[in-house]
Chains A and B, each alone.
Chain A
Amino acid sequence: MAMAIRVFLIFLLSLSSTNLSYSLYEDQVGLMDWHQQYIGKVKHAVFHTQKTGRKRVLVSTEENVVASLDLRHGEIFWRHVLGTNDVINGLDIALGKYVITLSSDGSILRAWNLPDGQMVWESPLQGSKDSKSILYIPKNLKADKDDLILVLGRGCLHAVSSIDGEILWRKDFTDESIEVGHFIQSTDTIYIAGFGGSSKFHIYGLNAKNGELLKNDHAKLPCDTFGELLSVSGDKFVVLDNLRSKILTLIIKNGEISYNQNHISDLIEDSSGQAILLPSRLPELFALRINFHVLLIKVTNGGELVLVDKINNAAAVSDALSISEGQHAFAFAQHGDNKVHLFVKDVSDWNGDLLKESIVIDHQRGNIDKIFINNYVRTDRSHGFRALMAMEDHSLLLVQQGEIVWSREDGLASVIDVTTSELPVEKEGVFVAKVEQNLFEWLKGHMLKLKGTLMIASPEDVVAIQALRLRSSEKSKMTRDHNGFRKLLIVLTRAGKVFALHTGDGRVVWSILLRTLRKSEVCEYPVGLNIYQWQVPHHHALDENPSVLVVGRCGPNQAAPVVLSFIDAFTGEELNSLSLAHTVAHVIPLPYTDSTEQRLHLIIDVNQRAYLYPRTQEAIDILQREFSNVYWYSVEADIGVIRGHTLKGKCIHEVVDEYCFDFRDLWSIVFPSESEKIIATVTRKSNEVVHTQAKVMTDYDVMYKYISKNVLFVANAAPKARGEIGTATPEEAWLVIYIIDTVTGRILHRMTHHGCQGPVHAVFSENWVVYHYFNLRAHRYEMSVVEVYDQSRADSKDVWKFVLGKHNLTSPISSYYRPDIITKSQSYFFTHSVKSIEVTSTAKGITSKQLLIGTIGDQVLALDKRFLDPRRTLNPSQAEKEEGIIPLTDSLPIISQSYITHSLKVEGLRGIITVPAKLESTSLVFAYGVDLFFTQIAPSRTYDSLTEDFSYALLLLTIVALVAAIFVTWVLSERKDLQEKWR
């Protein structure tokens, strides 16, 4: 019996000692995390479809990504994410093996190897003036056997060798004061067309071999022009006049410039709308958009305009594609009755269609923004076409033979804001049926796992186990789980589309292109701003679905009116949408909910009026009750002022609005503008849970944390040191940090870091703030921690008061009570520069915290808060060591195993959010940028649950074996006893 217990104990010990490792094993990758790669909205696309080799399409996107995609499946062959300031202006293929990109306003030209994406050469192009950037790779233009690339950037024309990127010659147009619009190439002469001012047309002829100026001519136009010059063919141009009512046709014949004027009204009866020239390059043709119509207009040799076709509801027109000698095709798409009609036509032969297809495209993808076409030769030698479509929601589709071959949700590359929602509660009946159905599978899976644990699994079994773990149906179920790991991540993208992603496997559960955030006549440039949890039902309102609020604006500037959308988080349906008259400067989710658990929100407009949502009497009643306790503060970074306001009363306004409230100023903090500029502010997350207000020191002493949600961390830099690192000397750079109470305007703490400058990234949690900045004297980045304690509570130390519960430490407190604040701080060097900092959050706030640092290498590093503890000393005492205080070092360690993104990169990392799981030890982390990454982390390890790969079958088997052993040994011992007695 005792033996059996001992065996069991040893077994238990061995079980608990497994899986104590901190980092991830190779076979654990993908178990709890997922990673999705995107490219963003496609701007340019170039097909590369040779007869041999893999067919691919090269794209550049608005997220500054250059990528090579598999034309068959849409997967990424290779991808490069350029910096945020490195906007791609042009993309093309040179020599059939290099991908050439022009970026940074035409100042950097790069060549990438086509098959594998390695950079071959890079050429910085000089220039002094901002101008249009054009990349042009002429066919058969050689200078000393080199194929030339012509680049216009920053007011200069460069001829670059495509082999090594050497600049062969350059021609500066800055002195000529013309805005270059086009290149035309004719054998060995390059013609440059452009405008000087808005009404003077210039043309230059250059020798392609050496850049020598051959010709120079100009003509004065009868009127000013609007928009860009469009080249129709080698010697013809069209441009709109400044009233957008006339089309000017410019023709160059024998070096002479002649022009024609045509009224748009001659071409179409209803010409009241605003005309726009579409930038599609079509030989002899041009496309003009007016009043939802696209006019295709042919330019004759005499400069006359002939209307070729009028397309209604046209979405997009592609560039022309040369399909054979002298034959050019182009495509356009037309929207009609739930379908998209794709037409491919021959430019010169207008009557026949080369292709006419109808495709059903999910209407949540919106309109077609861009079309790129490519042809292939069918077996019967006719031409087939495939079209790549960039949609309004930034997704990318490849259409061939009337079918969508593949699609990519590239809108997810531009996530603006994220919130989460719980999944529906599990219905019991469904669950049981499912288990019975899969009982055999379940048993088989566990037998396999058991084999793995006992190390008797064959290699095939190991593969099967891994596959089983990765596609475990448990993690991707559409119901709430016990541990709270399964949630919906609701993301708002720049395209105005809202996606719900499942945390288990990252799939899109639903998506909706918001009507309010689509381009329309009333709302020309809508932008999504933020997404909030509108209704989080629990307890009595459980039968209602949760919903989210999306706040947007009808234009890029702050004076634009606000649009609101309410979306059901389970179904993705838009419940309601409002286009309002007022503007939005802040959205404040109040800590009050109404009877249906809708959260009260105050939307504050630029005139400092607050509008209450939801617009119900109940909401007003709730707000009236808490009227004197609602404050708000505004940070005016450009003038260096922080103001505090409180609610005053109903609006005094011409239009009576019950839900409108006025404010009165309470306090203001004016920073001296000659010495301080606000560069960063950060506050605590409103939903953060703090477990305790006391911090126990090593000598049983207690410090009371100053835990208030109404605190703001402000970092101010010296005006001279606001720029890039290296522009200011250490003497003229300093960083002043403040911790401010936002109710009373009291400055709780102020500290100056001399010789330091921004950029400052900070995170505020509980009673501490951690911030990251650059130390100019040490030439290193630093991180500092400031912990704030409430000294006025420290005198309540009588044990008996606590034993009897006679203390007032948990009674509600007011900010006006003026606590006595003390702070502790410490600074450390940190090797990386940082893109963003977050902190883990758990359900009850008991688990220790980790800082999640988005590094410049687009990875996420988890750093224990213990490393940023101001109590660290060089030689901690035994007791301090036992408490977990780490000896002080001058720099923070970067342990490569603590990258939670392990070997992956979240390209273009912009933000990290953490969400608590129901399990206290675990926090869910979502990092977004061009890529998306999700994982679960347990800062103090999973102390409250068994690991995912725990073998229940083994446990069961052991218990059965033990019971059997107990029974057998009991029988044996009985028998032995009997024999003993008979002796």
Chain B
Amino acid sequence: MEKGKGVMGLGRRWGVDFSDNSTSRDIPDPPGFSRASLDQDDSSLSRQKKDAESNWKAQKAWEVAQAPLKNLLMMGFMMWMAGSTVHLFSIGITFSALWQPISALQSVGKIFEPYKDNKVELLGPKLLFIALNLGGLALGVWKLNALGLLPTHTSDWVSSLPPAQEVEFSGGGVNLG
């Protein structure tokens, strides 16, 4: 073992690379260790392995795509719990219900990146994911509306309408003193 070999970083870290066997050639292998088995890498085995991996990836992608469903149900439950009056809790829940789908939609690519593979069809899961998140968004908007925070009524537009100016002016009254 040599210190200083394979040192990385700014001197704070050190490590020994056991896989690097170039320096230990002259030392005999320990009994029972066959160097040949390391080099033996079957190509068929690797293909099998890759197939399994892509399968696993596709499966995982669908799982990820379905994850918002749980979230949706959870959110629905939370909203039901929050009630229909405007207060801190209900507003918080509603806004998190709006924010979560939006942030999820923004990072669709990132979420499905680990499962990117030219063999894996990601369009389906992505569409499902987007649809579910849109559903979540819709739920949030519906809640917002239920709370009365959407300007869908006339009253929301006229509440600060200044009074109309009058053309005529009239003054007078009972005679002074």
Binding site for B on A (CB under 8 A): 527, 529-530, 551, 553, 556, 558, 584-591, 602, 604, 606, 626, 629-635, 637, 644, 681, 683, 686, 690-694, 696-697, 700-702, 705, 707-710, 712, 742-743, 796-799, 802-803, 809-815, 882, 981
The contact sample of 15 A-B pairs, CB cut-off 8 A, is A586-B176, A587-B176, A588-B171, A589-B171, A602-B171, A633-B170, A635-B172, A692-B159, A693-B158, A694-B158, A700-B156, A802-B157, A809-B161, A809-B164, A810-B162
Nearest residue (CB) in A for B157 is A802
| A798 in contact with B154 given A629-B169, A692-B163, A693-B162 (CB within 8 Å) | yes
CB pair B161–A692 under 8 Å, yes or no, is: yes
Among B85, B158, B168, the one with the most A-chain Cβ atoms within 10 Å of its Cβ is B168
1/0 per residue, CB under 8 A from A, across B139-177: the answer is 000000000100111111111111111111111111111
| A702 in contact with B173 given A693-B161, A813-B165, A882-B85 (CB within 8 Å) | no
Among B148, B155, B172, B176, the one with the most A-chain Cβ atoms within 10 Å of its Cβ is B172
Q: Shortest distance in angstroms between A734's beta carbon and chain B's nearest beta carbon?
A: 22
A709 contacts across to B, CB distance below 8 A = 166, 169-170
How many cross-chain pairs have Cβ atoms below 8 Å apart between A and B? 147
CB pair A815–B166 under 8 Å, yes or no, is: yes
| A710 in contact with B170 given A799-B152, A799-B153 (CB within 8 Å) | yes
B158 contacts across to A, CB distance below 8 A = 692-694, 696, 702, 802, 809
CB pair A693–B172 under 8 Å, yes or no, is: no
In the bound complex, CA of A709 to CA of B165 (Å): 10
| A692 in contact with B148 given A553-B177, A626-B169, A629-B169 (CB within 8 Å) | no
CB pair A691–B162 under 8 Å, yes or no, is: yes
Extra contacts besides A632-B170, A799-B156, A811-B164 (7): CB < 8 Å:
A586-B172, A644-B170, A702-B158, A742-B170, A799-B154, A813-B164, A814-B167
A692 contacts across to B, CB distance below 8 A = 158-163
CB pair B157–A803 under 8 Å, yes or no, is: yes
Q: Shortest distance in angstroms between A841's beta carbon and chain B's nearest beta carbon?
A: 15
In the bound complex, CA of A708 to CA of B163 (Å): 9
* Chain B residues within 8 Å of chain A by Cβ, number: 30
1/0 per residue, CB under 8 A from A, across B1-32: the answer is 00000000000100000000000000000000
A802 contacts across to B, CB distance below 8 A = 154, 157-158
Nearest residue (CB) in A for B153 is A700
Binding site for A on B (CB under 8 A): 12, 85, 148, 151-177
| A814 in contact with B175 given A692-B159, A702-B155 (CB within 8 Å) | no
CB pair A696–B159 under 8 Å, yes or no, is: yes
CB pair B155–A584 under 8 Å, yes or no, is: no
A690 contacts across to B, CB distance below 8 A = 162-163
In the bound complex, CA of A288 to CA of B91 (Å): 87
Q: Shortest distance in angstroms between B163's beta carbon and chain A's nearest beta carbon?
A: 4
User: Contacting A629 at CB < 8 Å: which of B12, B157, B167, B176?
Assistant: B167
CB pair A810–B176 under 8 Å, yes or no, is: no
| A710 in contact with B161 given A530-B176, A799-B153 (CB within 8 Å) | no
Q: Shortest distance in angstroms between A812's beta carbon and chain B's nearest beta carbon?
A: 4
Nearest residue (CB) in B for A635 is B174
A604 contacts across to B, CB distance below 8 A = 172
Nearest residue (CB) in B for A680 is B174
In the bound complex, CA of A631 to CA of B160 (Å): 30
Nearest residue (CB) in B for A704 is B158
CB pair A799–B157 under 8 Å, yes or no, is: yes
A696 contacts across to B, CB distance below 8 A = 155, 158-159
In the bound complex, CA of A530 to CA of B177 (Å): 10
| A631 in contact with B162 given A529-B176, A681-B174 (CB within 8 Å) | no
User: Contacting A590 at CB < 8 Å: which of B152, B165, B169?
Assistant: B169
CB pair B164–A629 under 8 Å, yes or no, is: no
CB pair B166–A813 under 8 Å, yes or no, is: yes
A633 contacts across to B, CB distance below 8 A = 170-173
CB pair A630–B159 under 8 Å, yes or no, is: no
| A558 in contact with B171 given A702-B158, A799-B157, A813-B166 (CB within 8 Å) | no
A602 contacts across to B, CB distance below 8 A = 171
Q: Shortest distance in angstroms between A296's beta carbon and chain B's nearest beta carbon?
A: 38
Nearest residue (CB) in B for A556 is B177
Nearest residue (CB) in A for B171 is A588
User: Contacting A585 at CB < 8 Å: which of B151, B170, B175?
Assistant: B175
CB pair A812–B164 under 8 Å, yes or no, is: yes
A558 contacts across to B, CB distance below 8 A = 175-177
| A702 in contact with B174 given A693-B163, A809-B161, A813-B166 (CB within 8 Å) | no
Q: Shortest distance in angstroms between A16's beta carbon and chain B's nearest beta carbon?
A: 14
Q: Shortest distance in angstroms between B148's beta carbon and chain A's nearest beta carbon?
A: 7
B12 contacts across to A, CB distance below 8 A = 981
CB pair B176–A814 under 8 Å, yes or no, is: no
In the bound complex, CA of A696 to CA of B148 (Å): 13
A686 contacts across to B, CB distance below 8 A = 171
Among A606, A700, A712, the one with the most B-chain Cβ atoms within 10 Å of its Cβ is A700
Nearest residue (CB) in A for B85 is A882
In the bound complex, CA of A447 to CA of B158 (Å): 49
B175 contacts across to A, CB distance below 8 A = 558, 585-586, 606, 634-635
**Nearest 5 Cβ contacts at the A-B interface:** A802-B157, A588-B171, A700-B153, A632-B172, A694-B158
CB pair B164–A710 under 8 Å, yes or no, is: no
B171 contacts across to A, CB distance below 8 A = 586, 588-590, 602, 631-633, 686
Q: Shortest distance in angstroms between A645's beta carbon and chain B's nearest beta carbon?
A: 8
CB pair B174–A637 under 8 Å, yes or no, is: yes
Q: Shortest distance in angstroms between A837's beta carbon and chain B's nearest beta carbon?
A: 17
In the bound complex, CA of A813 to CA of B163 (Å): 10
CB pair A812–B167 under 8 Å, yes or no, is: yes
| A813 in contact with B167 given A584-B176, A588-B172 (CB within 8 Å) | yes
A589 contacts across to B, CB distance below 8 A = 171
In the bound complex, CA of A802 to CA of B157 (Å): 6
In the bound complex, CA of A798 to CA of B176 (Å): 48
Q: Shortest distance in angstroms between A390's beta carbon and chain B's nearest beta carbon?
A: 24
| A585 in contact with B176 given A700-B148, A799-B152, A814-B167 (CB within 8 Å) | yes
| A810 in contact with B161 given A584-B176, A700-B153 (CB within 8 Å) | yes
| A683 in contact with B177 given A691-B160, A812-B164 (CB within 8 Å) | no
